[in-house]
Structure 1
Amino acid sequence: MSSPRSSARCSSRIPEWLRVTLPSDPAFARTGSLLRDLGLNTVCQGAKCPNIYECFSRNVATFLIMGRHCTRACAFCNIGLGRVEPLDPGEPARVAEAAARLGLRHVVITSVTRDDLPDGGAAHFAATIAAVRARMPRCTVEVLIPDLRGDAEALATVVAAAPQIINHNVETVPELYAAIRPQAGFEQSLELLARVKAAGVTSKSGLMLGLGETDAQVRRLLERLAGVGVDIVTIGQYMRPSAAHPEVARWVPPAEFEALAALGAELGIPHVYAAPRVRSSYNAALFA
């Protein structure tokens, strides 16, 4: 990792290890068509995930519920502000139908942040989990949830729906929250993860590198995650979705991700999945 001084010299050219091959498998188009037909959103498309070609070609997608617009404006994210829509009561059943048609054994469900809702969308998460379970009782379920504004009762609603994994991403080091995640709080996110662990659910979190963080800051962050018993941590490279987003401070080479995976293991985190193209839901079934 780098110091802020060396980060300023980052080239805008994407390095070889992050380049992707465009899809040629017909399954890629079939997955996209199925999602369109069912009127579903995915974080793969909304967040411009670099792994979309690989995942769609393997009939895998991460469902994005509660609309296409967010009530927050995190600097790194491609899912932007906009007029939020009323919750669609038919969405949980359509997610379950899509998961069944895709033949998923592990379903990952995330959402936009909905601070306009009294429970932050917790009940809608629970309904979606229940719909998937009813349609595919042998399927494991992972949810990637927002911070729910620290509402313990809202989190309890999600926990009661009994997903196998509850993920909440800290995204970056606390020192960069004011610039990158200004409407969130690191301590609030850490408390959510601690409550997930205390409830006996597998806890998961993720972060990006290349936003200007230092080695020491990342180490301290991993120590904090280990301290609240997080079971799974994902670490990947920040990639700028558009010219309106913060520039990449540094392209982190694969060897440094490998070193962070080793550090996480040393700190007692059971699973650390670290590589340039890793995202929070990438190959999520590996840990289910």
Structure 2
Amino acid sequence: MNFQKPKVKAPSYELIHKTKNIIDKYSVNTICIESACPNISECFSRNSATFLILGDICTRKCKFCNVKHGKPNIVDSSEPKRVANAINELGLKYVVITSVDRDDLSDYGVSQYVKVTKEIKKINKNIKIELLTPDFHAKKELMDKIINSNPYKLSHNIETVESLYKNIMPGCSYKRSLKVLEYYAKTGILTKSSIMVGLGEKKEELIKTFYDLFNCGVKQISIGQYLSPSFKHHLVIKYYNKKEFDELKEIALDIGFDSVQSGILVRSSYYADKM
């Protein structure tokens, strides 16, 4: 297996320390930390972070994910204001808000997304907000509330090809995720999705997924290498090289996507502000 570990430039300790201190000060969670993202140093050095709301315990058990799963805590009513204050102190102009799955809640966490978005806009109405949401079981009345909060961009990750869902993403549905993305896209709000490679998918399955996403109205797509967080998680079946990522990018662009990020360390929120 020929795989060269990617290298990233070591950022300034002071900048990372400052970002971490603000995150700790307001007791907010970031997907950067919870998912053990390989880009954490680079993003923190750019004063960029993806905020994880609704706690840090997920009700689903996806085999690729490093976020804890189990029984979540009650929803924290102070969280929206704390997230907004942290964003303000960090001086961010573009923010990504995502969450764990909360199948234990009657609205699956939608109301917290709306409250967080509202609090951020109170502080600065010019901040661009990307909401990277769960599937909310594709319930239209819940997705309408997300849409009506008027974010700059709506995202939902397809994660992998359809044939791998049953094994890798129990509790999730490929077709349901497509329904969510199609519903988001029909509003005219910029819509994005993300997929990992290296989980055992075939090339033709990837291309089919690209077409499925594009036909749902998705305009932007991120393609990144799956890197197993630990030996307890799903194994990496294949490491893609730069040439293969470049080829996947060209295929996606030829299909018609407006913007494509494709590379070993690309993740759904990687350089989200630049797409």
Fold similarity call, TM over 0.5: yes
Q: How far has the Cα of 1:97 moved from its partner?
A: 0.9
Of the candidates 181, 186, 191, which is equivalent to residue 169 of structure 2?
181
Unaligned runs of 5+ in 2: none
Q: Which amino acid in structure 1 is aligned with residue 181 of structure 2?
A: L
2:32 is equivalent to residue 53 of structure 1 = no
The separation in 2 between residues aligned to 1:118 and 1:29, in whole angstroms, is 38
Q: How far has the Cα of 1:219 moved from its partner?
A: 0.5
SS of match in other structure, 1:208: strand
Q: Which amino acid in structure 1 is aligned with residue 244 of structure 2?
A: E
- Structure 1, residues 223-282: CA drift from partner, whole Å, max 9, x if none? 111111101100000000011001111110011111111111111111111111110111
Q: Paired residue for 2:15?
A: 27
2:133 is equivalent to residue 162 of structure 1 = no
Q: Paired residue for 2:127?
A: 139
Q: Paired residue for 1:115?
A: 103
Q: Paired residue for 2:241?
A: 253
Q: Which has the higher contact order (CA 8 A, sep 6+)?
A: 1
Equivalent pair of 1:229/1:269 in contact (CA under 8 Å): no
Q: Paired residue for 1:150?
A: 138
Equivalent pair of 1:48/1:241 in contact (CA under 8 Å): yes
The separation in 2 between residues aligned to 1:19 and 1:117, in whole angstroms, is 41
SS of match in other structure, 1:255: helix
The separation in 2 between residues aligned to 1:139 and 1:67, in whole angstroms, is 23
Q: Paired residue for 1:7?
A: none
Q: Paired residue for 1:42?
A: 30
Of residues 22-31 and 85-94 in structure 1, the stretch that sits farther from structure 2 once superposed is 22-31
Q: Paired residue for 2:254?
A: 266
Of the candidates 117, 128, 131, which is equivalent to residue 116 of structure 2?
128
Q: Paired residue for 1:15?
A: 4
Q: Paired residue for 1:82?
A: 70
Q: How far has the Cα of 1:82 moved from its partner?
A: 2.5
The separation in 2 between residues aligned to 1:271 and 1:23, in whole angstroms, is 27
The separation in 1 between residues aligned to 2:260 and 2:98, in whole angstroms, is 20
> Where does structure 1 differ by over 2 angstroms across 4 or more consecutive aligned residues?
18-25
- Structure 1, residues 151-210: CA drift from partner, whole Å, max 9, x if none? 111111100000011100000000100111111000000000000011121111000000
Of residues 253-262 and 140-149 in structure 1, the stretch that sits farther from structure 2 once superposed is 253-262
The separation in 2 between residues aligned to 1:31 and 1:254, in whole angstroms, is 31
- Structure 1, residues 49-100: CA drift from partner, whole Å, max 9, x if none? 0000001111111100000100000010001212311111111111111111
2:71 is equivalent to residue 73 of structure 1 = no
Scaled by the length of structure 1, what TM-score is found? 0.93
Note the aligned Cα RMSD (angstroms). Answer: 1.2
SS of match in other structure, 1:63: strand
Of the candidates 50, 53, 56, which is equivalent to residue 62 of structure 1?
50
2:211 is equivalent to residue 211 of structure 1 = no
Q: Which amino acid in structure 1 is aligned with residue 4 of structure 2?
A: P
Equivalent pair of 1:72/1:80 in contact (CA under 8 Å): no
Q: Paired residue for 2:232?
A: 244
Q: How far has the Cα of 1:25 moved from its partner?
A: 3.0
The separation in 1 between residues aligned to 2:189 and 2:95, in whole angstroms, is 16
Of the candidates 211, 235, 242, which is equivalent to residue 223 of structure 1?
211
Q: How far has the Cα of 1:24 moved from its partner?
A: 3.9
Q: How far has the Cα of 1:21 moved from its partner?
A: 4.8
Of residues 216-225 and 264-273 in structure 1, the stretch that sits farther from structure 2 once superposed is 264-273
Aligned length: 275
Scaled by the length of structure 2, what TM-score is found? 0.97
- Structure 1, residues 120-159: CA drift from partner, whole Å, max 9, x if none? 1111101101111110111100011001012111111100
2:182 is equivalent to residue 194 of structure 1 = yes
